[in-house]
Each structure stands twice: as structure tokens, then as C-alpha cells.
Chain A
Amino acid sequence: MAARRSALSALASAAVLAAPLALAGCTAGSTAIVAGGPSTLAVGFTAEPQNFDFTTTDGAAIPQALLYNVYETLVKIDSDGEITGGLAESWDVSDDRTVYDFHLRDDATFSNGEPFTASDVEFSVERVKQDWTISLQSGMDVVDRVEVVGEYHARVVLSRPSNSWLRAMTTRIGAMFDPSGVADLANDPVGTGPYDVESRRRGDAVVLTRNPEYSRPGSPRPEPDYRTVVLKYYADATALNNALLSGGIDVISGVTAPDSVPQFEADNRFRVLQGTTNGEVVLAYNNRRAPLDDVRVRKALTYAVDRKALLEAAWGGRGELIGSMVPPTDPWFEDLSGEYPYDPDRARRLLREAGHESLRLNLRIANLPYAVSSAQVVAAHLKKVGVTVDIEPLDFPAVWLQQVFTDGDYDMSIVQHVEPQDITTFGDPEFYWGYDSERVQRLLTEADTAPPREYIADMRRVARTLSDDAAANWLFLFPNIVVAKNEVRGLQANQVSESFDLTGLRRQEPS
């Protein structure tokens, strides 16, 4: 009797525990704070915007969410790296390449109802020079003045020819603002794009809804397909994967745990797209500090690392070996991955030549998965040529920025450089590379002012010189891996711009 009763009470307590579980079964799946349905898309990201003001707060997360989607630019960059029209339908460049005439769309309107005109171009460009504080702001230094020629005709005059300027106009510094829409950029962005920020829940999601003012008759996509897009933020890569697997989201914007990709590839509910990014994972050498100020040592270390094996071990073989600071979508890309073939004997010889039988170097890396796993391979390979490596993961971004980037207190470091055209950082001797080459500085200046064809040739020369000097060791190009439910179409494999471009997305009914 007693035994039966205790069994009963155990059952009862089990039932109490199970009741809410059973009850919840009916409502599973709805995790977004807006109603789901075919016109809603939920996209998962790993880095959340701190605020919505990319004019004073740096970082990839804000332009990823807002650029092209909420804010538009005069010119856009497509997934092949080509510059195409945006708010400007077309543009002419003067023969001396200092005057740009932009012919604007006459049907663009800001989400506050104000029409977009040439005076907004003047306002926005001037504002970059005066009020922006992020470092990219310097991309606008070359602009001398903006003239409002007509309501839909803006003229930008440069103080000298610049090839990089128009390309920079496809990034956030080219975003167009309305003078009456900049009062609270951090919380209330106002743009001409197809979406408007409806709400945000910090630590969780940003909800974009269709901008009622947006209509582009005659364009390939007069209106966005999805009325509502929920940008969901997951600090943890596994949580992000689980959200897609359990139906909480429709798209993973970028997989950061490569070993999880096969499970998506094997599952016919999903599609996996793999392309390139602008993110070079760089083993930085402190060119300013002995013994790495000796080119023989830098070359030795570059020969000593088997990058193919590293990519396999650190990132599941996903990514590309490029051997330079240039991603394949830049027009001056040249595959330099064969310049330093894996050759430990040669590395040892070079080190001996430089007078080092053995070395001890610190490797102060960002405490991020790709850097930690790459560092272990680097340390193992360098050990074989007599270099002892002390790996020190630093809290990223705060501590890494302070110690390595600002103070330059490091021998080697590993971090991913994601800014477009960041090869130009090698022209700045103050940059944390500590790389001071007159030739590279001269070539970069010449390249920017040269006619377009020479521009490309000059940039190739820069990349080659950096490689010859072993100014850094370009381990691999970070892959862009997008996973989506089958019905989501129009996603781009290559991440070329700073934006996660929602404008081309559409839903395909399952057949």
C-alpha cells in the first residue's frame, strides 16, 4: 500500500512538471515579437548594433542592418564588386576626373515624408566632413565642395582625382540623410530605403517594416517582397544554428561555426550559400619591433606556416587562400597565395641567416574562435622551425584595441580585417603593423589619383610589394556562409558591401 502511494505521488509530481510542457506544445515556434506569416522574414545575426548611429559609432553591425535597407547611397556595390546606380540613376565624370555629376531619381522619399533632392546630397556629404567621428569619415576629405545644380542634379567637386572616393560612396559614408531626420540618429534613423526601423528590443531583435513612402515603379523590385523583416541577434553561434533548426528564424546571415555547416548541407529543408567576404584573417607582424623588423625573419615565419593545413584545421577548409590584403571581389585582385609555399627548411635557413637559432615571440590575438584556432596551428608550425610562440588571447575588441592596436605592444597578432580596401592601412606608418615603406606610400597616393587603368596596375604593385616584404602573413579570407530555408530566394553568396542587403530577397512558394 505504502509502495503504491509513493509511486502515485511520484507520478503526481511528474504530472505537475509535465503539464506546462504539454500546454506549450501548441504554441511552439513563435519566437519573434511580431506575428509571423509569409510576408515576415526573420534573419539571424551574431553582432548586435549598439545603437543606430553609424556616424559616431564604429563597427560592422549598424551598417549591416541599416545600409541599403534603411539608408540608401547614391551608388551601390553589387555582389561582383561592380559599382551600380542607387539613388543616382547615372553619373558623369569630367575628363580631369575631379567633377562628378550625379543625376538623381526623382521618386525617392524619406520615411518622414520629405522628398529626396540634390540639396540632401549637399547636406549629407558636408555632414560627413563636419559631424562624423568614426575614422571612415576621412574618405570624404578629398571632396572640395558640393553644388546643387538642379533639384535632381548634384555635382561633387574633388580637390584632386580619387579612384577610391566613388567606391567609398558605396559604403556608409555615402548614406543620404534628410536635414530634419538627424535629430536622434542613435534611436530613430530616417532614410529613403525600402525599410524603416519599427521597433527594437535590445539584446534580442530589431524589427524593420516596409517604408510606406518607398515605391520605385519601373525598377526590378518596385516594392520589397517581405513587409516585415526581423533581425534577430544571437551572441552564441550554437544558439543561432538552433534557431534555424527549430524554425525560430528563416536565414542565418553568416555562419561562424564552420563545423556546423555539414548538418545544414545534409538537410533538404535548407540551402547553403558559400562566397567571399572582405575579411582577411591576418597574422600581423610588428614590423617596428626586433626581430620582426628584419625582413628575413618575417619571410621565414611566412614560409613556416602551412596555410592550407591551417585553413583545414582552423576553419574546416572553408575560406580562400589569397596571400594578400585583397579580396577576390576587388578589381585589382591577384592570387598571391603561392608566393610563400610551405617550406620549413627554407624558414630555418632564413632564420639562421638573420642570426637566430631559436626565437620566442608573443602572439596576442583577439579572443574569437577563428583567431584562437588559427593561433594554435601557427604556434605548432612555428615550433618546428625553432620559434616558441606564447599565445595570449585578449578580450576583443576592448583589450585588443588598447594593447595591440593603440599601444603596438605585441610581436604577432591574429585578427580579421573586414573594412573594404583596407590594404591602404599599409600606407600609414602609424598603423599597428608598424610598416613604413616609402614605396608603398608613394604607390598608394599615385594609384588614387591615376587614371582608372593605371589605378588597378598600381594597386597590384602595392599588393605585390607588401607580399615581397612579408609585411604580414595573410592566413585566409574569411568565408561568407549563408544558410536559409529553401523558400527564401535572392540571397547573395558574396559579402562585398557593408550591408546585409534585404532589398533583393523574395519568397518562393514551395512547389
Chain B
Amino acid sequence: MTVGERVAAGASPAVAIARRLVIFVVSVGVASVVVFAFMAVLPGDPAQVALGVNATPELVEQTRQEFGLDRPLVTQYLDWMGGLLTGDFGTSYVTKEAIGPQLLDRLGVTLWLVGAGMLVALLLAVPTGIVAAVRHRKPSGVIVSAASQVGVAVPAFLAAIILVQVFAVQLGWLPSGGWTPPAYDVGAWLSGLILPAVSLGLVQGAVLTRYVRSAVLDVQREDFLRTARAKGLRPYPALLRHGLRNAAVPVVTVLGLQLATLLVGAVVIERVFVLPGLGSMLLDAVAARDLLTVQSVVLVLVVGVLLVNFLVDVLYAVLDPRLRRS
């Protein structure tokens, strides 16, 4: 049951949100155990990977001890959790660097990417979805609708490869990859962000278009909108003034789900565009069997997804005044 439904069912908003918070915290705890257990059964010995071929078994054993891999799994888990609770992610035994600052750095890149991707998706989906709905019986509406169908079928990485070929390799307008921090050079940062954000946003935008369209179609059939039209308002102003807020509730639900998809999609897109985000951090760490780093990144991603779901729940109450009264 969402926060909105709880409030509607008579609970006070504070209690409902507190309930969701408890569920959120428990989910994070369970996720941490699952993530840790998964790392423990992953084949491949981190010490062996660090030492490479020709290492003697004694040396591998000694390195395992240095990495703390010889301790019981429960101790390793408790150590890790203990550190996390005090905000200490530990030091990677592969890179010999503190994981926390690394994570923050990488998270910044991924959040820019996901945020920009979402923006592209919204800029694409809201206008086209509305047009497709209002004109759903006319050829132009059908064409928009069909185009979005095609967009849904194109994977983000394929869109990325095509965009790079056209805009970076052939036309040379944009870099084919790489990342410049915005604090260093805003222009270079923006130009580096465009292709990844568009590749990520195009597909999500196409998916979202279909939801916006059906949400708007539903709203159009409502009595209050018919009344607005009867009052003499033209289709678009009527929709803008009376319909959009109502259409937004289901769209926000989908948006929340899509944010999770975007986070996962970002992993692949970061690889294609060589962006130093969480995704590339995760893949590099998996290859080097840097288990502590892998654990931390996966946990951050899981917490991110849970957090988005939590926020979407809270957002319902804001969007729908009927669910807001106390």
C-alpha cells in the first residue's frame, strides 16, 4: 500500500511515511546480506588476480591474509556493515584507495547522466505523448504513436553506437566519449554529456510517450474535461489547464520505475562512452575481483532504486490533493 493509499485510508501522513521508512531500512539491510552473500560465492580469488601468473601458493595465501579474506564470512560482513554505519566504506585492497570518496565521485557522474537522460526522456515524451493522444484518430497522431513503438524496440546501446557514428565520427560535432567535470569546463562537460544522455533518454522517452499518451487519453474522457471543452476551451488549453495534473499521477509511477531502468542502462552507456561513473566502476571492480568495491557499488545502486520508490510514494500525496488531506 502506498503512502497515498494509507493516508486515504485514514492513517496520518507522518505514520504512513514512517512505515515506509521502516520498510526502506529493512529492505536495505536484506539487500546488504544478499549482495555480500553473492560476492562470497563469486568464483575467482582476488589475491590470485592481484598477484598474477607465476605467484607461489604461499604468496597467494599471505596476500589473502593481508586482504582479510581468510577471516570467517560473518566477521567480514559485520566489519563491512560496521564501517558503513559510520560512513566508512573501507579501503579497496586492489586500488589501495578509500572507497567512499571514489564512490561519491563516480556517483556524481552517474547522477548527471541519469538526470540528463531523464530530462531528455521528459522533453521527448510529454509533448509527443500529448500530441499523440489529442490527435489519436488522425494520421499525425498515429505516426507519432508508431514512431514511439520503434523507439521502444531500440536498445540504448544501439542508439549510442549509431549516435557516435553520426555525430562524433562522421560529423565531428561532439566527442565520442570521455568526461570533463562541470567545475573544470562547462562547455566540454555539456558536449560530453549530450550523446550519452540522448542515447539513454531516447529509449526511455519512447516508452514514456506511450504512457503519457494513454494517461492523456484517459483524462480526455473525463467529465471535467468534457465540461471544459463545452465551456469553449480548445483541446490543448483545456488539457493544459485541467487535465495535466490528473494525467501526471500514473506517469509519475512509470517515471519512478524508469529511473531504476535508467540507473541500470547507465551502466552500459557509461561503458560505450567511457564515462567514469558507477557502472564502469562496478565493471572494473568485478574484473579485478575487488569485492569490497563491488559490494559497495551494488549496495549504492540498490539503495538508489529503493529510495526512488520511496520518493515516488511520497510524491503521490503531493500530486493528488484528495490523498493529501489529513
Contacts and interface: CB of A to CB of B under 8 A. Distances in A.
B44 A57 contact: no
A502 B133 CA distance: 60
Contacts of A403: 43
B101 to A, nearest CB: 11
Interface string A11-31: 011001100110111111111
A57 B95 CA distance: 9
B306 interface: no
A24 B53 contact: no
B2 interface: no
Contacts, number: 221
A443 interface: no
A399 B102 CA distance: 26
A23 B49 CA distance: 45
Contact of A10 (B43, B46, B131, B192): B131
Interface string B48-91: 11111111100110110000000000000000000000000000
A134 interface: yes
Contacts of B168: 242, 245-246
A20 B190 contact: yes
Contacts of B179: 31, 33, 201, 204
A239 B273 CA distance: 7
Interface residues of A, number: 69
Nearest to B139: A3
A129 to B, nearest CB: 14
Interface residues on B, range: 35 or more
Interface string A61-81: 000000000000000000000
B284 A242 contact: no
B52 A402 contact: no
Contact of B45 (A26, A48, A246, A402): A402
Contacts of A401: 44-45, 48-49, 53
B94 A57 contact: yes
B217 interface: no
B96 A203 contact: no
Nearest to A34: B184
A202 interface: yes
Given A50-B95, A134-B55, A135-B55, A204 B49 contact: no
A2 interface: yes
A30 B176 contact: no
A58 B96 CA distance: 14
Interface stretch (A159-167, A228-236, A485-493): A228-236
Given A135-B59, A204-B178, A24 B173 contact: yes
B271 A236 contact: yes
A203 B277 contact: yes
A358 interface: no
Contacts of A25: 173-174
A365 to B, nearest CB: 15
B185 A30 contact: yes
B187 A26 contact: yes
B52 A135 contact: yes
Interface string A351-362: 000000000000
Contacts of B164: 242, 246
Nearest to B54: A135
- Among the interface residues A50, A201, A397, which one has the most CB atoms of the partner chain B within 10 A? A50
Contacts of A235: 271, 274, 280, 283-284
A245 B175 CA distance: 10
Given A24-B191, A203-B281, A236-B274, A245 B95 contact: no
A239 B274 contact: yes
Nearest to B45: A402
Contact of B59 (A9, A133, A246): A133
B94 A398 contact: no
A56 to B, nearest CB: 7
Nearest to A185: B96
Nearest to A57: B50
Interface string A372-415: 00000000000000000000000101110111011000000000
A13 B128 contact: yes
A210 to B, nearest CB: 21
A236 B280 contact: no
B227 interface: no
Contact of B43 (A20, A58, A246, A399): A399
B288 interface: yes
Interface string B263-297: 00000000111111100110110011110000000
Contact of A24 (B190, B276, B284): B190
Interface of B: 43-46, 48-56, 59-60, 62-63, 94-97, 102, 105-106, 120, 123-124, 127-128, 131, 134-135, 138, 140, 144, 161, 164-165, 167-169, 172-181, 184-185, 187-188, 190-192, 194, 235-236, 271-277, 280-281, 283-284, 287-290
20 contacts: A3-B138, A7-B140, A17-B120, A27-B190, A28-B173, A31-B177, A50-B290, A57-B50, A58-B50, A186-B97, A202-B95, A234-B177, A235-B284, A236-B272, A239-B176, A242-B176, A243-B177, A248-B176, A248-B178, A398-B43
The 8 A-B pairs with the shortest beta carbon distances in the complex, nearest first, are A398-B44, A58-B52, A31-B178, A203-B276, A135-B54, A186-B96, A27-B187, A13-B127
Interface of A: 2-3, 5-7, 9-10, 12-13, 16-17, 20-21, 23-33, 48, 50-51, 53, 56-59, 133-136, 138, 186-187, 201-205, 232-236, 238-239, 242-243, 245-248, 395, 397-399, 401-403, 405-406, 419, 425, 431
